[in-house]
């Protein structure tokens, strides 16, 4: 696991605390879930977060196994 420091505005931090409390998750797990959801949405739609289409063959999970 890697450590990451985020500089967020106060309202974003408050929203993360509320979401964490309501869901029973840590803020780290919330951020991880949000990142995975966004990645999967982009992969399924064939777009990148910036809105540009990804080149053919670049979508999907890669790795050995």
Q: d(Cα 20, Cα 43) in Å, to the nearest integer? A: 26
14-38 pLDDT per residue, tens: 999 999 999 999 999 999 999 999 9
Q: Which residues contact 30 (CB under 8 A, 6 or more apart)?
A: 16, 19, 20, 23
pTM: 0.63
More confident residue, 11 or 57: 11
Domain boundaries defined on the chain = 11-45
Token code pair at residue 3: 């450590």
Q: Does position 13 have pLDDT exceeding 60, yes or no?
A: yes
Q: Which residues pair with 8 in a beta bridge?
A: none
pLDDT at 35: 93
What mean pLDDT value characterizes the chain? 83
pLDDT at 56: 52
Check if the beta carbon of residue 20 is closer than 8 Å to that of residue 30: yes
């Amino acid at each position: 696991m890697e450590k990451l420091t985020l500089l967020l505005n106060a309202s974003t931090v408050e929203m993360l605390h509320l979401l964490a409390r309501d869901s029973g998750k840590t803020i780290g797990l919330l951020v991880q879930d949000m990142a995975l959801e966004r990645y999967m949405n982009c992969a399924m739609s064939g777009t990148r977060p910036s809105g540009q289409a990804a080149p053919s063959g670049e979508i999907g999970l890669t790795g050995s196994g």
